[in-house]
Amino acid sequence: MTSQTPVAVITGAASGIGLATVRALLAGGWCVGGVDRDSDAVARANREFETHGGAAVFRAADITDETAVADAVAGFEAELGPLKGLVNSAGIGRDTPFFETTPAMFRQIHEVNVVGTFIVAKAVAAAMRRTGGGAIVNIASVSGLPGNIGRSAYGASKGAVITLTRIMAVELGRYGIRVNAVAPGPIETPMVQAHHTPAVRQEWNERVLLRRYGTAEEIAEANVFLLDEARSAYITGQILAVDGGFTTGGLLGLDRA
């Protein structure tokens, strides 16, 4: 590590898209501070990356806890250096029909996906403002773009993340902070594997133009691109759908045209 090595904070960093992003950033020469609420997964991640010479540090923290987030961000600054990147990857979701969605479910999903994203972004953006700017990537979802069945809570939360991203880009640009969002389609992550039944998987595969689920690594590459000042310095306020063409598919019976 040197004083010029860029440092990024990743939430949900011990599994799925977050973990894939950690690996991609380390391969690209970044230092990474990882946050995850699963303390066992954090311990495994610290063991996995201990050979990186201190370039990756993981802390167990709940992103909805302002004090825990503030402590983690301060710790990463002290251990790794000025923060130049953030990927807000932590999130929860479930497929529940509208009439079966309870207010408690709705509140829980919004507390993590929206409030948690805001808490971490605010803490990291404050650090970036002190040290000359940086880049933030919020993980949204294609469920926040069109209306997907069973996603009244999850889709609404990701729609809120998309709007939050645009507002942050407007307000933080003056400080040299770029803010974008990646909206994944169906991605092979532990959360998706837990919630997607065979019937759901078949429907996704029929509607995605590339006829497959994406990988966490493919989302990680999009995240790294949007963090990289050399490749995306003039991109802010954008929502990048990495979805195999799902959101632009339209009617797929092209053989009948």
Which residues are CB-neighbours of 105 under 8 A, at least 6 positions away? 94, 96, 153
3-state SS, residue 8: strand
- The alpha carbon dihedral of 121, 61, 24, 75 has a sign of positive
- Residues 32, 108 contacting (CB under 8 angstroms): no
User: How far, in Å, CA of 100 to CA of 111, rounded?
Assistant: 19
SS (H, E, C) 195-242: HCCHHHHHHHHHHCCCCCCEEHHHHHHHHHHHHCHHHHCCCCCCEEEE
Which of these is catalytic: 154, 175, 213, 234?
154
154 as an active site residue: the answer is yes
C-alpha separations of 91 from 30, 38, 127, 209, 257 in Å: 23, 13, 23, 26, 40
Show the tokens assigned to 5: 């090595």
Please count the other Cβ atoms lying within 10 Å of the Cβ belonging to residue 105: 15
User: How far, in Å, CA of 141 to CA of 138, rounded?
Assistant: 10
Show the tokens assigned to 214: 């994406």
Report the DSSP beta bridge partners of residue 85.
8, 135
Sheet containing 134-139: which strands, arranged edge to edge?
56-60, 31-36, 7-11, 83-88, 134-139, 177-184, 239-242
Catalogue the active-site residues. 154
